[in-house]
Amino acid sequence: MPEQGEQPFLAEELNTHWPEMTYGGALSFLRRRYTRNLEGVDVVVSGIPFDAATSNRSGARGGPRAIRAASTGLAELGSFPFGFDPLRTLNVIDYGDCFLDFGYPQHVVEAVEAHADEILTSDASMLTFGGDHFVTYPLLRAHAKKYGPLSLVHFDAHSDTWPDDGERLDHGSMFLRAAREGLIDPSRSIQIGIRTDNEDTHGFTIVSSPWIHEHGVLATVEHIKRVVGTHQAYLTFDIDCLDPAFAPGTGTPVAGGLSAAQALGILRELAEINFVGADVVEVAPSYDHAEITAIAGATVAYDYLCLLALRAGGEPKDMGPDFF
């Protein structure tokens, strides 16, 4: 009898994939094995359940759990539109969540950075679920130690470069701090979907949401490729990049955003970008409806794995001349 169910606990091979109930079973991301053994691992999924830096509605601490739950349907079939299973190409594990003591928010940077440092000592890359967007800052600190200054590919409604004194726990200023610390190179970084006012770009290339609505997905992709080039890049996807119609479950929703189709269309064209890490942040399930936001976040994460699988030699399926 073939293996069925509870892969996170029972799977012995990292790229094993067998039938699960979409409505039951352990909720690792894409039913990947729960382990902290990094031997032979290509991608480590983990969560950062922190939202004390949010400036409006809290609740993103529930994001990692919600994204994992929403991934069950994605784990059931091969990927669309790529037509292959990235989990056959990549060894992906679910590492669980970074432990954070809620009573000591002042220690969150060192805790998250140490969590990332431990993972990045291996050959694996990280795919991380927030939490509010501040968690990207300590993740960038850890990645920059390994890779040097990175290009930031940043999907968001907000630039997150408002004034920062180097001390605030603030999900709206940490990319200015990251730029000042040399963690990212603004001249090689791009912000996509922005639709809030900021007097200074701080050297980042900004592709606004209205511009994308007018000029489309492929024109946006060309901007990203031009700015980032061959530089090592970090992808950070704030779910409020999407219009609240497509992502109501988030802390700082802004009208006029991208549709899920637009954002996924852009992301799916970025296989040429040399991504060394990624995160999906600001999913706040307490404001979600019918898992709309969590499903979008899980799909972004899944499609990112597909991009890595393509770079690792995964072959997309040719659907034939009758498939448009």
* DSSP-assigned letters across all residues of 226-291: HHHTTSEEEEEEEGGGB-TTT--SSSS--SS-B-HHHHHHHHTT-TTSEEEEEEEE---GGG-STT
Q: How confident is the model at residue 148 (pLDDT cuts 50, 70, 90)?
A: very high
Task: Return the domain boundaries, the chain.
Answer: 7-311
Say which CATH topology domain 7-311 has: Arginase; Chain A (3.40.800)
Amino acid at residue number 306: C
Task: Read off the pLDDT of residues 202-251 as tens digits, 9 standing for 90 and up.
Answer: 999 999 999 999 999 999 999 999 999 999 999 999 999 999 999 999 99
Q: How confident is the model at residue 12 (pLDDT cuts 50, 70, 90)?
A: confident
Are 284 and 293 spatial neighbours (Cβ–Cβ below 8 Å)? yes
d(CA 100, CA 26): 22
d(CA 82, CA 75): 14
If one compares 324 and 59, the residue with the highest pLDDT of the two is: 59
The pLDDT value recorded for residue 1 is 46
Are 151 and 233 spatial neighbours (Cβ–Cβ below 8 Å)? yes
Q: What are φ and ψ of residue 310, in 5° steps?
A: -60, -45
| Residues whose CB is less than 8 angstroms from the CB of residue 255 and which lie 6 or more positions away in sequence, other chains included | 243, 244
| Residues whose CB is less than 8 angstroms from the CB of residue 270 and which lie 6 or more positions away in sequence, other chains included | 153, 221, 224, 225, 307
Task: Read off the pLDDT of residues 71-90 as tens digits, 9 standing for 90 and up.
Answer: 999 998 889 999 899 999 99
d(CA 296, CA 50): 20
Q: How many CA atoms lie within 13 A of 203 on its CB side?
A: 14
Tokens found for residue 266: 């852009």
